[in-house]
Structure 1
Amino acid sequence: MSDSSQYTLKTAEVHLSTGVNIVAEVASFEAIKRLVQDAEASQLGGLIQDSAKSRETPPVAAAHAPEDPLARMETRAGLKAGSLAKAKLVAVKDEAPHLLRPHSFKKIIDAVVVLIFAVETGMRRNPIDYDSFSALYEAQNLKSGTPLAMMLTNLRNGGYLDKRTYADRRNLRLTGKGEEKAVQVLKELCDAA
Protein backbone atom coordinates (compact mmCIF):
# COMPACT_ATOMS: atom_id res chain seq x y z
CA MET A 1 0.00 0.00 0.00
CA SER A 2 1.24 3.51 -0.74
CA ASP A 3 2.15 6.14 1.79
CA SER A 4 -0.97 8.22 2.51
CA SER A 5 1.01 11.03 4.14
CA GLN A 6 1.39 12.63 0.70
CA TYR A 7 -2.32 13.37 0.41
CA THR A 8 -5.43 13.92 2.54
CA LEU A 9 -8.76 12.23 1.97
CA LYS A 10 -11.76 14.47 2.59
CA THR A 11 -14.76 13.02 0.80
CA ALA A 12 -15.67 9.90 -1.11
CA GLU A 13 -18.43 9.48 -3.66
CA VAL A 14 -19.74 5.92 -3.86
CA HIS A 15 -22.14 4.79 -6.60
CA LEU A 16 -24.24 1.73 -5.72
CA SER A 17 -25.91 -0.75 -8.04
CA THR A 18 -29.39 0.35 -6.89
CA GLY A 19 -28.79 3.86 -8.21
CA VAL A 20 -28.03 5.33 -4.81
CA ASN A 21 -25.08 7.72 -4.70
CA ILE A 22 -23.44 8.36 -1.34
CA VAL A 23 -21.13 11.28 -0.64
CA ALA A 24 -19.41 10.96 2.72
CA GLU A 25 -16.61 12.59 4.64
CA VAL A 26 -13.82 10.07 5.14
CA ALA A 27 -10.34 10.10 6.58
CA SER A 28 -8.97 6.82 5.22
CA PHE A 29 -9.40 4.03 2.73
CA GLU A 30 -10.61 1.86 5.61
CA ALA A 31 -13.47 4.33 6.16
CA ILE A 32 -14.45 3.99 2.50
CA LYS A 33 -14.34 0.20 2.79
CA ARG A 34 -16.56 0.32 5.91
CA LEU A 35 -18.96 2.67 4.11
CA VAL A 36 -19.37 0.20 1.24
CA GLN A 37 -19.75 -2.74 3.64
CA ASP A 38 -22.40 -0.87 5.65
CA ALA A 39 -24.29 0.02 2.46
CA GLU A 40 -24.29 -3.62 1.37
CA ALA A 41 -25.33 -4.81 4.84
CA SER A 42 -28.28 -2.40 4.88
CA GLN A 43 -29.37 -3.72 1.46
CA LEU A 44 -28.72 -0.41 -0.30
CA GLY A 45 -26.74 -2.34 -2.90
CA GLY A 46 -23.16 -3.02 -3.83
CA LEU A 47 -20.67 -0.99 -5.80
CA ILE A 48 -21.24 -0.56 -9.51
CA GLN A 49 -18.53 -2.56 -11.22
CA ASP A 50 -18.63 -0.82 -14.60
CA SER A 51 -17.40 2.77 -14.38
CA ALA A 52 -19.56 3.80 -17.37
CA LYS A 53 -22.67 2.72 -15.48
CA SER A 54 -21.70 4.84 -12.50
CA ARG A 55 -22.15 7.96 -14.62
CA GLU A 56 -25.65 7.02 -15.74
CA THR A 57 -28.54 8.78 -14.07
CA PRO A 58 -30.98 6.25 -12.62
CA PRO A 59 -34.68 6.62 -13.40
CA VAL A 60 -36.57 8.64 -10.81
CA ALA A 61 -38.88 5.79 -9.81
CA ALA A 62 -35.97 3.40 -9.34
CA ALA A 63 -33.89 5.88 -7.34
CA HIS A 64 -35.88 5.23 -4.19
CA ALA A 65 -38.72 3.01 -3.11
CA PRO A 66 -41.55 4.92 -1.46
CA GLU A 67 -42.25 3.93 2.12
CA ASP A 68 -46.00 4.50 1.86
CA PRO A 69 -47.80 1.32 0.73
CA LEU A 70 -50.20 3.27 -1.50
CA ALA A 71 -47.30 5.14 -3.09
CA ARG A 72 -45.58 1.81 -3.83
CA MET A 73 -48.75 0.54 -5.47
CA GLU A 74 -49.14 3.73 -7.51
CA THR A 75 -45.52 3.63 -8.61
CA ARG A 76 -45.74 -0.02 -9.63
CA ALA A 77 -49.03 0.54 -11.47
CA GLY A 78 -47.84 3.72 -13.18
CA LEU A 79 -50.53 5.84 -11.53
CA LYS A 80 -50.22 9.47 -10.49
CA ALA A 81 -49.28 10.07 -6.88
CA GLY A 82 -52.38 10.23 -4.70
CA SER A 83 -54.69 8.69 -7.28
CA LEU A 84 -55.65 5.67 -5.14
CA ALA A 85 -56.59 7.89 -2.22
CA LYS A 86 -58.44 10.31 -4.49
CA ALA A 87 -60.44 7.47 -6.04
CA LYS A 88 -61.02 6.01 -2.56
CA LEU A 89 -60.19 2.51 -3.73
CA VAL A 90 -57.63 1.23 -1.25
CA ALA A 91 -56.51 2.24 2.22
CA VAL A 92 -54.06 0.74 4.68
CA LYS A 93 -54.88 0.32 8.34
CA ASP A 94 -53.06 -1.78 10.92
CA GLU A 95 -50.58 -3.08 8.33
CA ALA A 96 -53.38 -4.47 6.15
CA PRO A 97 -54.88 -3.18 2.90
CA HIS A 98 -58.62 -2.57 2.72
CA LEU A 99 -60.82 -2.10 -0.32
CA LEU A 100 -62.84 1.03 0.45
CA ARG A 101 -65.40 0.61 -2.31
CA PRO A 102 -65.70 -3.11 -3.01
CA HIS A 103 -68.88 -2.52 -5.01
CA SER A 104 -66.91 -0.48 -7.59
CA PHE A 105 -65.23 -3.62 -8.95
CA LYS A 106 -67.06 -5.06 -11.94
CA LYS A 107 -66.14 -8.63 -10.99
CA ILE A 108 -65.29 -10.16 -7.66
CA ILE A 109 -62.20 -11.70 -9.28
CA ASP A 110 -60.94 -8.18 -10.04
CA ALA A 111 -61.24 -7.26 -6.37
CA VAL A 112 -59.35 -10.41 -5.34
CA VAL A 113 -56.52 -9.72 -7.80
CA VAL A 114 -56.25 -6.09 -6.63
CA LEU A 115 -56.25 -7.22 -3.00
CA ILE A 116 -53.40 -9.67 -3.65
CA PHE A 117 -51.54 -6.92 -5.55
CA ALA A 118 -52.03 -4.60 -2.56
CA VAL A 119 -50.55 -7.19 -0.21
CA GLU A 120 -47.62 -8.02 -2.49
CA THR A 121 -46.70 -4.54 -3.66
CA GLY A 122 -48.05 -2.23 -1.00
CA MET A 123 -47.32 -4.33 2.06
CA ARG A 124 -44.26 -6.09 0.57
CA ARG A 125 -45.51 -9.52 1.61
CA ASN A 126 -44.78 -11.88 -1.21
CA PRO A 127 -46.04 -14.55 -1.23
CA ILE A 128 -48.97 -14.49 1.19
CA ASP A 129 -50.17 -17.68 2.80
CA TYR A 130 -53.70 -18.83 2.08
CA ASP A 131 -54.95 -18.57 5.67
CA SER A 132 -53.77 -14.97 6.08
CA PHE A 133 -55.30 -13.98 2.77
CA SER A 134 -58.54 -15.75 3.60
CA ALA A 135 -58.87 -13.69 6.80
CA LEU A 136 -58.06 -10.50 4.89
CA TYR A 137 -60.59 -11.38 2.19
CA GLU A 138 -63.31 -12.01 4.77
CA ALA A 139 -62.63 -8.60 6.34
CA GLN A 140 -63.32 -6.87 3.00
CA ASN A 141 -67.05 -7.61 3.08
CA LEU A 142 -67.00 -8.76 -0.53
CA LYS A 143 -70.23 -10.40 -1.64
CA SER A 144 -69.90 -13.50 -3.77
CA GLY A 145 -71.74 -16.76 -4.20
CA THR A 146 -68.43 -18.44 -5.04
CA PRO A 147 -66.19 -19.64 -2.20
CA LEU A 148 -62.73 -18.06 -2.02
CA ALA A 149 -61.01 -21.41 -2.65
CA MET A 150 -62.88 -21.78 -5.94
CA MET A 151 -62.04 -18.22 -7.03
CA LEU A 152 -58.36 -18.83 -6.31
CA THR A 153 -58.51 -22.08 -8.27
CA ASN A 154 -60.00 -20.17 -11.20
CA LEU A 155 -57.23 -17.56 -10.93
CA ARG A 156 -54.56 -20.29 -10.88
CA ASN A 157 -56.14 -22.03 -13.88
CA GLY A 158 -56.33 -18.70 -15.71
CA GLY A 159 -52.64 -18.05 -15.14
CA TYR A 160 -53.11 -15.12 -12.74
CA LEU A 161 -51.68 -16.94 -9.70
CA ASP A 162 -48.44 -18.90 -9.56
CA LYS A 163 -49.42 -22.59 -9.49
CA ARG A 164 -46.08 -23.81 -8.18
CA THR A 165 -46.05 -21.44 -5.22
CA TYR A 166 -49.53 -22.56 -4.24
CA ALA A 167 -48.75 -26.25 -4.68
CA ASP A 168 -45.55 -26.07 -2.61
CA ARG A 169 -46.81 -24.30 0.50
CA ARG A 170 -50.34 -23.12 -0.26
CA ASN A 171 -49.06 -19.59 -0.78
CA LEU A 172 -50.50 -17.00 -3.14
CA ARG A 173 -48.40 -14.97 -5.55
CA LEU A 174 -49.47 -13.13 -8.68
CA THR A 175 -47.89 -14.02 -11.97
CA GLY A 176 -46.94 -11.34 -14.47
CA LYS A 177 -50.36 -11.78 -16.04
CA GLY A 178 -52.02 -11.37 -12.65
CA GLU A 179 -50.09 -8.21 -11.90
CA GLU A 180 -51.01 -6.79 -15.31
CA LYS A 181 -54.66 -7.53 -14.57
CA ALA A 182 -54.46 -5.76 -11.19
CA VAL A 183 -52.78 -2.73 -12.77
CA GLN A 184 -55.40 -2.63 -15.53
CA VAL A 185 -58.26 -2.75 -13.01
CA LEU A 186 -56.70 -0.04 -10.84
CA LYS A 187 -56.12 2.24 -13.83
CA GLU A 188 -59.69 1.79 -15.04
CA LEU A 189 -61.13 2.53 -11.60
CA CYS A 190 -58.87 5.55 -11.04
CA ASP A 191 -59.76 6.95 -14.46
CA ALA A 192 -63.47 6.49 -13.75
CA ALA A 193 -63.26 8.28 -10.39
Structure 2
Amino acid sequence: MTEASRKWTWADFVQRCRSRTVSGEIDVNPLVFRVLLPWFIFCALGLLIDTEGELLKFAERIVPLTSALPLIGFFGLLSYWSTPKWSQGIKFLVWKIVWPVVVGVCYAYMTIGAFYWFNALAGSQEAVLVHGPVIKMYDRVGGRYGGHGWYLYITFDHRVVVLDVPRQDYEQIRVGDEYAVKMKRGALGYFYRWSNSILY
Protein backbone atom coordinates (compact mmCIF):
# COMPACT_ATOMS: atom_id res chain seq x y z
CA MET A 1 0.00 0.00 0.00
CA THR A 2 1.43 3.35 -1.02
CA GLU A 3 1.61 6.24 1.46
CA ALA A 4 -0.88 8.24 -0.60
CA SER A 5 -3.48 5.44 -0.38
CA ARG A 6 -3.18 4.96 3.39
CA LYS A 7 -5.87 6.31 5.68
CA TRP A 8 -4.95 9.84 6.76
CA THR A 9 -4.44 10.29 10.51
CA TRP A 10 -3.36 13.18 12.70
CA ALA A 11 -0.54 11.05 14.13
CA ASP A 12 0.91 10.41 10.67
CA PHE A 13 0.53 14.09 9.79
CA VAL A 14 2.43 15.18 12.91
CA GLN A 15 5.16 12.68 12.08
CA ARG A 16 5.46 14.06 8.54
CA CYS A 17 5.65 17.59 9.97
CA ARG A 18 8.53 16.56 12.21
CA SER A 19 10.37 14.94 9.34
CA ARG A 20 9.51 17.80 6.94
CA THR A 21 7.82 15.45 4.50
CA VAL A 22 4.36 17.05 4.43
CA SER A 23 2.84 16.23 1.06
CA GLY A 24 0.32 18.28 -0.90
CA GLU A 25 -1.10 15.09 -2.40
CA ILE A 26 -1.51 13.40 0.99
CA ASP A 27 -2.23 16.21 3.44
CA VAL A 28 -3.95 19.13 1.70
CA ASN A 29 -7.38 17.55 1.10
CA PRO A 30 -7.72 16.04 4.62
CA LEU A 31 -6.74 19.36 6.20
CA VAL A 32 -9.20 21.25 4.01
CA PHE A 33 -12.15 18.94 4.75
CA ARG A 34 -11.36 18.32 8.44
CA VAL A 35 -10.28 21.81 9.50
CA LEU A 36 -10.60 24.63 6.99
CA LEU A 37 -14.01 23.81 5.46
CA PRO A 38 -15.80 23.24 8.82
CA TRP A 39 -14.22 26.45 10.15
CA PHE A 40 -15.36 28.36 7.06
CA ILE A 41 -18.95 27.06 7.42
CA PHE A 42 -19.00 27.84 11.15
CA CYS A 43 -17.81 31.41 10.59
CA ALA A 44 -20.10 31.97 7.60
CA LEU A 45 -23.13 30.95 9.67
CA GLY A 46 -22.02 33.35 12.39
CA LEU A 47 -22.28 36.25 9.97
CA LEU A 48 -26.02 35.52 9.65
CA ILE A 49 -26.60 36.52 13.27
CA ASP A 50 -28.29 39.91 13.19
CA THR A 51 -25.76 42.03 15.09
CA GLU A 52 -25.28 45.78 15.30
CA GLY A 53 -22.83 47.01 12.69
CA GLU A 54 -20.06 48.20 15.01
CA LEU A 55 -19.10 44.61 15.84
CA LEU A 56 -17.73 44.24 12.31
CA LYS A 57 -15.46 47.24 12.82
CA PHE A 58 -14.32 45.85 16.17
CA ALA A 59 -13.54 42.44 14.66
CA GLU A 60 -11.65 43.96 11.74
CA ARG A 61 -9.41 45.86 14.16
CA ILE A 62 -8.32 42.82 16.15
CA VAL A 63 -8.36 40.08 13.49
CA PRO A 64 -4.82 40.91 12.29
CA LEU A 65 -3.38 40.06 15.71
CA THR A 66 -5.78 37.34 16.89
CA SER A 67 -6.18 35.41 13.64
CA ALA A 68 -4.06 36.63 10.73
CA LEU A 69 -0.63 36.20 12.30
CA PRO A 70 -1.32 32.69 13.74
CA LEU A 71 -2.84 31.52 10.45
CA ILE A 72 0.02 32.94 8.38
CA GLY A 73 2.38 31.17 10.75
CA PHE A 74 0.46 27.89 10.38
CA PHE A 75 0.46 27.98 6.58
CA GLY A 76 4.08 29.13 6.63
CA LEU A 77 5.03 26.06 8.65
CA LEU A 78 3.14 23.84 6.21
CA SER A 79 5.09 25.47 3.39
CA TYR A 80 8.36 24.96 5.23
CA TRP A 81 7.65 21.38 6.25
CA SER A 82 6.65 20.37 2.72
CA THR A 83 9.96 21.54 1.26
CA PRO A 84 12.99 19.62 2.60
CA LYS A 85 15.23 21.27 0.00
CA TRP A 86 15.21 25.00 -0.70
CA SER A 87 17.22 25.03 -3.91
CA GLN A 88 14.40 24.98 -6.49
CA GLY A 89 14.98 28.54 -7.71
CA ILE A 90 14.07 32.05 -6.64
CA LYS A 91 10.54 32.02 -8.14
CA PHE A 92 9.71 28.84 -6.27
CA LEU A 93 11.03 30.26 -3.01
CA VAL A 94 9.07 33.50 -3.42
CA TRP A 95 5.88 31.51 -4.05
CA LYS A 96 6.52 29.40 -0.93
CA ILE A 97 6.64 32.62 1.08
CA VAL A 98 3.77 34.49 -0.62
CA TRP A 99 1.04 31.83 -0.62
CA PRO A 100 0.96 31.35 3.19
CA VAL A 101 0.47 35.10 3.59
CA VAL A 102 -2.33 35.28 1.01
CA VAL A 103 -4.20 32.21 2.26
CA GLY A 104 -3.65 33.17 5.91
CA VAL A 105 -5.12 36.64 5.42
CA CYS A 106 -8.14 35.25 3.52
CA TYR A 107 -8.95 32.71 6.23
CA ALA A 108 -8.31 35.29 8.94
CA TYR A 109 -11.04 37.51 7.49
CA MET A 110 -13.43 34.57 7.71
CA THR A 111 -12.89 34.40 11.47
CA ILE A 112 -14.99 37.56 11.85
CA GLY A 113 -18.00 35.24 11.98
CA ALA A 114 -16.50 33.60 15.07
CA PHE A 115 -16.70 36.94 16.88
CA TYR A 116 -20.43 37.04 16.08
CA TRP A 117 -20.86 33.58 17.59
CA PHE A 118 -18.90 34.46 20.73
CA ASN A 119 -20.76 37.73 21.19
CA ALA A 120 -24.10 35.89 21.00
CA LEU A 121 -23.43 32.59 22.77
CA ALA A 122 -21.41 33.99 25.66
CA GLY A 123 -23.65 37.00 26.15
CA SER A 124 -26.81 37.64 28.10
CA GLN A 125 -29.99 36.02 26.84
CA GLU A 126 -32.10 38.75 28.45
CA ALA A 127 -34.03 40.91 25.99
CA VAL A 128 -33.18 44.60 25.78
CA LEU A 129 -35.35 47.20 24.08
CA VAL A 130 -32.85 49.08 21.93
CA HIS A 131 -34.46 52.42 21.14
CA GLY A 132 -33.61 55.99 20.37
CA PRO A 133 -33.88 58.79 17.81
CA VAL A 134 -32.67 58.07 14.29
CA ILE A 135 -29.69 60.32 13.52
CA LYS A 136 -28.69 58.83 10.16
CA MET A 137 -30.06 56.49 7.47
CA TYR A 138 -28.00 54.37 5.11
CA ASP A 139 -29.46 52.43 2.19
CA ARG A 140 -26.50 51.37 0.10
CA VAL A 141 -27.19 47.76 -0.89
CA GLY A 142 -24.20 45.55 -0.13
CA GLY A 143 -22.79 48.15 2.23
CA ARG A 144 -20.14 47.81 4.89
CA TYR A 145 -22.30 46.01 7.41
CA GLY A 146 -23.54 43.24 5.14
CA GLY A 147 -27.19 42.22 4.82
CA HIS A 148 -29.43 43.97 2.31
CA GLY A 149 -28.15 47.46 2.98
CA TRP A 150 -30.93 49.20 4.96
CA TYR A 151 -29.46 50.64 8.14
CA LEU A 152 -30.52 53.06 10.84
CA TYR A 153 -28.14 54.87 13.15
CA ILE A 154 -29.75 55.54 16.52
CA THR A 155 -28.45 56.87 19.83
CA PHE A 156 -28.91 54.43 22.72
CA ASP A 157 -26.98 53.58 25.85
CA HIS A 158 -24.84 56.72 25.43
CA ARG A 159 -23.51 55.68 22.02
CA VAL A 160 -24.48 55.27 18.37
CA VAL A 161 -25.97 51.87 17.47
CA VAL A 162 -26.11 50.78 13.82
CA LEU A 163 -29.09 48.53 13.09
CA ASP A 164 -29.75 46.39 10.03
CA VAL A 165 -33.50 46.81 9.51
CA PRO A 166 -36.21 45.47 7.16
CA ARG A 167 -36.87 47.52 4.06
CA GLN A 168 -40.43 48.31 5.14
CA ASP A 169 -39.19 49.76 8.42
CA TYR A 170 -36.56 51.81 6.62
CA GLU A 171 -39.07 53.30 4.20
CA GLN A 172 -41.39 54.38 7.02
CA ILE A 173 -38.72 56.06 9.16
CA ARG A 174 -37.29 59.56 8.87
CA VAL A 175 -34.31 61.15 10.60
CA GLY A 176 -35.44 62.32 14.04
CA ASP A 177 -38.08 59.60 14.44
CA GLU A 178 -37.90 57.17 17.33
CA TYR A 179 -37.02 53.55 16.45
CA ALA A 180 -37.14 50.57 18.79
CA VAL A 181 -36.32 46.87 18.44
CA LYS A 182 -35.89 44.03 20.94
CA MET A 183 -32.36 42.61 20.98
CA LYS A 184 -29.93 40.99 23.44
CA ARG A 185 -26.67 42.33 24.84
CA GLY A 186 -23.72 40.23 23.66
CA ALA A 187 -20.59 39.26 25.56
CA LEU A 188 -18.58 41.88 23.67
CA GLY A 189 -21.12 44.57 24.45
CA TYR A 190 -22.81 44.59 21.03
CA PHE A 191 -26.52 43.99 20.65
CA TYR A 192 -27.75 41.03 18.60
CA ARG A 193 -30.83 38.97 17.82
CA TRP A 194 -31.21 35.50 16.33
CA SER A 195 -33.67 36.60 13.65
CA ASN A 196 -31.46 37.97 10.88
CA SER A 197 -31.72 40.32 7.96
CA ILE A 198 -31.41 37.54 5.38
CA LEU A 199 -35.07 36.76 6.13
CA TYR A 200 -36.28 40.27 5.32
Bigger RCO of structures 1 and 2 (CA < 8 A, at least 6 apart)? 2
